[in-house]
Chains A and B, each alone.
Chain A
Amino acid sequence: MKNIKNTKMELSQETMNVGFIKKVETLSGSSVRRCFQCGKCSAGCPMRSFMDHPPNRIVRLIQLGQWERVLAGRSIWYCASCETCSTRCPNKVDLAAIMDALRKLSWDADGPSKESYVQLANRLFINNIKQYGRQYEMRLAAVFNVKSGQFLKDLMLGPKLLSKGKLKMFHSKNKNLAEIEKIFNRIEEMRKNGDAP
């Protein structure tokens, strides 16, 4: 995908994907169109300083059909799901749910955002559920470091946590593992048949 971050925004029937608004609204169960840009979401957002587009601008970009700008940016991957925006919106726009929907749309398209660390962490976390049923933090952190090429990240924390008995090395087999796998498979099947988003 070309770097659209610094390109000028041209609004016309050709460049505005209005269908995207509906898509986001259906997935999130929240109105996008109700937003009147008061900016309360961005004012309370703890992650604002890490984002390229603040939350209120994300909504405005969707309203203008600028889906590529939204999905290419890193804002959606820096949302912490703290729910402050959804709590304070005077128009009941559930921005936290919209962020979930945007991440899913980006995730399904395998990107296109470059924020790969958060996506990698999510992928490993979900794989852990499928494989073990529960999270094993040590494994999660170790695999994350290897896969992200940051072999030395938090190197000093590992032994410290281990000595405090905080990192469980061994896992007991969860009796519901087969059932969990079935849930994953059924969802995959439903998506193949078009029964689920």
Chain B
Amino acid sequence: MTATKNVLNYSYYPGCSLHASGKEYDESARGLFKALKIGLQEVPDWFCCGATPAHNVDELLSLALCAKNLELADKVEGDLAVACAACFSRLKTTQHKLGENEVKRKQVEQAIDGKVSLNKPVKHLLEILARDFGLENLRGAIKIPLTGLKIATYYGCLLTRPPDVPQLDCVEAPTIMETVVETTGAETVAWSHRMECCGANFTLSRPGVVLKLTGDILASAKRAGADCLVVACPLCHGNLDIRQKEIEEVTGEEYHMPVFYITQLLALACGVNPTKLGFGSMIVSPNPLLKEKNLL
């Protein structure tokens, strides 16, 4: 382990949700990175990556939007840090597809009227914490161990799938999130639904779908004995946290399971002031659980 790892600097693509429904992810990511002395500089005037709706019906548009954002990111120093799993997936997919398909690359270059730049490494925050900053350093930065918390780590879909694209970790049995969470001294549980889909953007068009899928996820986490979930995607968070009450109404099960962003838990453990971590913005309040474990 090299000792001089505290001077890391990244360009930062938060994504639309982190300025709205997922703002506690943004706040806690900034707080955590500041505490770890990792620089984050937001790409000026970035715009929507197109997410699922764009590639669902218009691949060229989706690739062009991402290619243009990658071009904007090129102007800011450092690898591109991405918080949202969907943005991460879209940006990486664009690099992957345009790198191997010349026809598509030429079409995108015509659409954005410029050269496509594929050289900027795109990294999810998890990857930066686990690999660039390193687990050893992370362990060294923990001031308040989260002892006693039993956490279900939820990956969802796009952090790891499909195999050739994100290359964050093993596509069917990843461990990156567990290893990062365990540096805080918290316990992670083994459970069945950590890679199942939450229904993502069906939350707008077909909320019934989301209730079914997230209901199964929460039930699995509860069965495994978890007190809370940790996620790294604002859409997963929205579906598990914002819709949790509805799920309880539909299924008759009671969960009261706080859904943390990974950055919230790490920042808390690294001694960042809890009032700056957006706990108040969560629909399922984490305060009772954190007080019970003497962490607040």
Binding site for B on A (CB under 8 A): 27, 29, 46-47, 49-50, 78, 80-84, 86-87, 94, 96, 100-101, 103-104, 107, 117-122, 125-126, 128-129, 133-138, 140-141, 144, 153-154, 157, 160-161, 164-168, 174-176, 179-180, 182-184, 186-187, 190, 195-197
Contact = CB atoms under 8 A, between A and B. Distances in A.
Nearest to A187: B111
11 contacts: A47-B197, A80-B199, A82-B197, A117-B205, A118-B202, A129-B47, A133-B47, A138-B20, A167-B21, A184-B61, A190-B107
Contact of A29 (B50, B72, B101, B242): B101
B25 to A, nearest CB: 11
Contact of B172 (A46, A87, A101): A87
Contact of A128 (B48, B107, B161): B48
Contacts of B97: 29
A81 B56 CA distance: 8
Contacts of B280: 164
B197 A46 contact: yes
B157 interface: yes
Contacts of A84: 157, 161, 197
Given A83-B157, A161-B21, A187-B64, A195 B107 contact: yes
B68 A129 contact: no
Contact of B161 (A83, A154, A157, A167): A83
Nearest to B207: A154
Nearest to A184: B61
A47 B16 CA distance: 26
Interface in B8-40: 16-17, 19-21, 23
Given A133-B47, A183-B111, A126 B162 contact: no
A166 B58 contact: no
Contacts of B112: 183, 186
B52 A168 contact: no
B53 A125 contact: yes
Contacts of B257: none
Contacts of A164: 280-283
Main secondary structure of the interface of A (DSSP, over half): helix
A121 B23 contact: no
A51 to B, nearest CB: 11
A162 to B, nearest CB: 11
Contacts of A117: 205-206
Interface of B: 16-17, 19-21, 23, 44-45, 47-48, 50-61, 64-65, 68, 72, 97, 101, 107, 110-113, 157-158, 161-163, 171-172, 196-197, 199-202, 204-207, 209, 212-213, 242, 280-283
A173 to B, nearest CB: 9
A147 B163 CA distance: 38
A134 B199 CA distance: 21
Contact of A166 (B21, B56, B197, B199): B21
Name the residue in B57, B60, B101, B107 with the highest tally of chain A Cβ atoms < 10 Å from its Cβ: B57
Contacts of A82: 157-158, 161, 197, 200
Contacts of A176: 45, 47, 68, 72
B213 A129 contact: no
A118 B202 CA distance: 8
| 4 closest residue pairs by CB, A with B | A83-B161, A121-B205, A125-B53, A135-B16
B283 A135 contact: no
A107 to B, nearest CB: 4
Given A46-B197, A104-B59, A179-B68, A118 B205 contact: yes
Contacts of A196: 60, 107, 110-111
B32 to A, nearest CB: 20
A154 B283 CA distance: 15
Contacts of B111: 183, 186-187, 190, 196
A195 B110 contact: yes
A125 B51 contact: yes
